[in-house]
A and B are shown apart, each in its own frame.
Chain A
Amino acid sequence: MTTSVASSSERLHALDALRGFALICGVVLHAAMSYLPGFTVWPLLDRSPSTALAVTFYTIHMFRMTTFFVIAGFFGRLMLERRGVRAFVRNRATRIVVPLVVGWVVFFPLIVLAMWWGAGGQLGAPAGATAPPAPPALAFPLSHLWFLYVLTLIYAAVLPVHALVARVDAGGRLRRAADVMMRAALAGPWAPIVLGVPLIGAFLVSPWLLWSGIPTPDQSLIPNLPAAVGFSSAFAIGWLIHRQTPLLKTVERWWAPYLAMAVALTVACLAILGPDPAAQLSTAASSAPLYTVLYVAGVWSWTLGLTGAALRFFAAESATRRYVSDASYWIYLAHLPLVLALQAAMKDWPLHWALKFPLLLTVALVLLFASYHLLVRFTVIGEVLNGARRRRRPGDDAAPARALPPTADVLASLTGARKQFGTVTALDGLTLDVRAGELLAVLGPNGAGKSTAISLLLGLLQPDAGTATLFGRAPLDVESRYGVGVMMQEVTLAMEMTVREIVALTTNYYPAPMTADEAMALTHTTEFADRPYGKLSSGQKRQVQFAVAVCGRPSLLFLDEPTVGLDVQAREILWKTIRLLLSQGASIVLTTHYLEEAEALATRVAVLAKGRLVAMGTVDDIRGVVSRKKVSCLSVLAPEQVAGWASVDAVSHDGRRLHVVARDADDVVRRLLAADPSLRDLEVARAGLAEAFTEITQEAA
């Protein structure tokens, strides 16, 4: 099994790299466009036109978006299968829809500005006002972001189709038939034609500019027919390939013949049309049907050939390719205004295109990569485009790996968690588990890191290093918090609202909550149920916060210093309720700086000081630890002689002095003096934990 896992992730690296390649090809394509002889579609024409760049443009345009949509289909199904509908929707909304909308708002004005500048300030009219003679229905200048818009439409269609297929084709017969057809389609050299059938059909029924290939659907909210059919069929083919990933092996095996076919078909197409973009052959020409078939076969030969080549040569993970493919999304989104501005600046330079074009491309890519590295990679933009990424820190590798996967027994855990606030280290590599059915008391003085630890477990803060999990997931997932109730320090609930309204609202967040009345009865808040929260005493407010914490029947309850500000009677009530919830099987994490509170309630106690775990165990263990002392002296006794003595926990010798940690220091000192009359320079001190407790007791006093 391990090999198949490894090879499938290798394939993903290959496709990821290919997607990055297709996007960066887009930058090359647009950069080339001002050099196309007589290509008036583009607003800026350079004084040094180039047939070579026209052919480059023609070739890239043939495959780049079809390839992109095949990969999008492949990854689309992968995500839907792995993460489910909700995560799919959420992820696609973040990665595609947000960049579409925000990207348009940010980049479209810049594009208009660059074109305006390039035209010598003659465009005059505001953005979009220069409507073409016959604007299409629902005209809208999507600009180069049209592919995100088309993807959004496809995603919106995929979900209902997916659900419908699951319902209609419950036995899977339809889907098996589709799988058989895909295998047959990819089994031989006919693949480029078979996969292109939908696109050929669309080209035959709608007029198109032969030289410009699939018409770019960037003018209207309704994509033109060839684009709609071409890109959605590419998406569907990627989707179907993901249904049976062995097909990727076939594609990989045939990479060289496909690419050879692609080159031959491209040459044949250009032979029919001529390399001059201005000489538009119309769909009425007698050679148009032949051209259409050759062109579409070329589209798919390139797509299959490049996919195969990527699988063949770029399967292994590579940090560089990873970086480039991460950067490519931003680069593509941001490139157009910059490329236009550079084209505008350079178009009248008296230089040959063979100098200008490489210069333009280099400057554009350097600036785009720099902007990615400085503005995007580690910021919210990068997080939206590519997912969260953390800057590597020196201590990262030192974070202890979790030896065992979290068992069902562990409800929440921190592993090597570090958190820094400015120069203050709040948590310094804390590892902590919360187990089912226990009350874990987290004990420590103010500033020990108790609240920070809880904030990490709840996803309120992100660790600088290490990990936090909640029910085996990332704490940021809402789903992982359905089982969680929380009572925090220093919270003011909605002042105007009554206790009943506040508790009732909170019950709505949970899958199977108590009623508000049940929650209020449990927490003894019924008597002031109809008073506004702002009019309650501070003790009553804490009780209401407790009601808010328990009303969702959480299986894991976080109580951060719950008894601060309560009078003795209210504290007793709270303790009683906590014990009741424990007996019903809930797990509780309770922070406190009262040893007494931990003793009264805890199954286990974790003692924190200065962001570290200084002790962990049952209440009895901790009590034993607290009374330990450290004895040190100059003595001739060997550590082995002392180690066996009653109440001695640890012995060491640093070459000069003997160190003994013992629970009953008085007794050990007596025996040491008896055993070694020459003993000198005796010191007795509290052990480290006891120092922590001194602070605790001092604060409590």
Chain B
Amino acid sequence: MTTMPLSRVFGAYLAEAGFETKRHLKAPAFAMPFLVIPVALYVFFTSLGGDPSQAPKPELQMPIRMFTGFSIMGVMGPALFAFGMAVAVDRDFGLLRLKRALPMPPMAYMLGKMVMAALFSALVMVSITTAALVKGLNLSVAQFLAVAAIGVVGTLPFAAIGLFIGAKVSGRTAPAWVNLAYIPMTYLSGLFFPVPEAIRGLALVSPAFHLNQLALQAAGVAAIMPATMHIAALLGVTVLFSGLAAWRVARMG
């Protein structure tokens, strides 16, 4: 029986990630709306409020909350939409079936998509950070870098959810399902305004809430829960959904 040296297995993962990246860069229209909309919204809303130092409750640190909120919204988009839908379409096209029959390393396709999602998130973070700098948001370089890093790594749980949806539904119905995850998650996580007391507990199950809290802590806003809990929740969501997606793809195509 032939075996494959680990270096070649690693090479296969790398090749798959490179291929996926190139593929999406060749069709940028697919992900473009998700790159542009959060930045545009961020600029729009931060321009509305006037001078932040005159805001009614400065202790809320609204400028920082706007920055992290739109950043998190920005990294959710490409991960959930572009990649969840791309997987659904690949499944419809029989491409996933073929890849499963070939000796592709089992997680290569998923990891390739995730690397791709992280790359798009990096683009989002660069553009929002630039906008924040232009708007004169008062954070240190280290804080900006930390928020950006959290945003990029924080793509993974959303990519995992996107992949799971993509692995479960057809290409035609994928956008509807993705919206069903995306819109409630955005609002229930307190990204832009406080969640009503009665349903605040729901935020605990939303990865967007946990990621936003991490970003806020990195930007110097007081923590409401220890960071390890947020990280554990995000890790759990990532493992759970990518595991479910991989299992689903491995068994059903």
Contacts and interface: CB of A to CB of B under 8 A. Distances in A.
Interface of A: 98, 101-102, 104-105, 109, 126-129, 131, 138-140, 380, 384, 458-460, 462, 471-473, 476, 478-486, 488, 490-494, 496-497, 501, 504-506, 508-512, 548, 552, 558
A509 B26 CA distance: 23
Interface string B162-201: 0000000000000000000000000000000000000000
A482 B98 contact: no
A-B pairs, top 5 by smallest CB distance, nearest first, are: A105-B236, A492-B93, A481-B103, A508-B15, A491-B94
A621 to B, nearest CB: 30
Interface in B183-233: 204, 224-226, 228-229, 232-233
B103 A510 contact: yes
Interface string B77-104: 0000000000000000111011011111
Given A105-B240, A462-B251, A478-B105, A128 B94 contact: no
Interface in B14-30: 15-16, 19, 22-23, 26-27
Contacts of A126: 204, 224-225
B3 A511 contact: yes
Contact of B102 (A139, A384, A484, A512): A484
A509 B22 contact: no
A127 B22 contact: no
Contact of B101 (A102, A138, A484, A497): A484
Q: Which of A138, A473, A486, A508 has the most CB of B within 10 A?
A: A508
Interface stretch (B4-12, B118-126, B131-139): B4-12
Contacts of A460: 97, 100-101, 253
Contact of B105 (A102, A473, A483, A509): A509
28 contacts: A101-B235, A104-B232, A105-B233, A105-B236, A105-B240, A109-B204, A127-B225, A128-B226, A128-B229, A138-B228, A473-B1, A479-B2, A479-B3, A482-B4, A484-B101, A484-B102, A490-B94, A491-B93, A493-B95, A496-B26, A497-B23, A501-B19, A504-B15, A506-B102, A508-B8, A509-B12, A509-B105, A548-B98
B225 A129 contact: yes
A101 B240 contact: yes
Given A127-B204, A140-B228, A384-B243, 16 more contacts: A101-B236, A105-B232, A460-B101, A472-B1, A478-B105, A478-B106, A481-B101, A484-B102, A491-B97, A492-B93, A496-B26, A497-B23, A505-B15, A508-B15, A509-B103, A511-B3
Nearest to A506: B102
Contacts of B98: 486, 488, 491, 493, 548
Nearest to B235: A101
A357 B22 CA distance: 63
Contacts of A481: 101-103
Nearest to B102: A509
B237 interface: yes
Contacts of A496: 23, 26-27
A139 B228 contact: yes
Contacts of B23: 494, 496-497
Interface residues of B, number: 46
Contact of A491 (B2, B95, B103): B95
A473 to B, nearest CB: 8
A552 B229 CA distance: 46
A101 B239 contact: yes
A552 B103 contact: yes
B29 to A, nearest CB: 11
B97 to A, nearest CB: 6
A488 B96 CA distance: 11
Contacts of B226: 128-129, 131, 139
B232 A140 contact: yes
B1 A479 contact: yes
B103 A497 contact: no
A400 to B, nearest CB: 26
A510 to B, nearest CB: 6
B206 to A, nearest CB: 13
A505 B228 contact: no
Contacts of A478: 103-106
A472 B228 CA distance: 46
Contacts of B15: 504-505, 508
A512 B95 CA distance: 23
Contacts of A109: 204
Nearest to B26: A496
Contacts of A380: 244, 247
B250 interface: yes
A386 B179 CA distance: 35
Given A105-B237, A509-B12, A511-B8, A497 B19 contact: yes
Contacts of B232: 104-105, 140
Contacts of B105: 478, 509
A483 to B, nearest CB: 6
A159 to B, nearest CB: 13
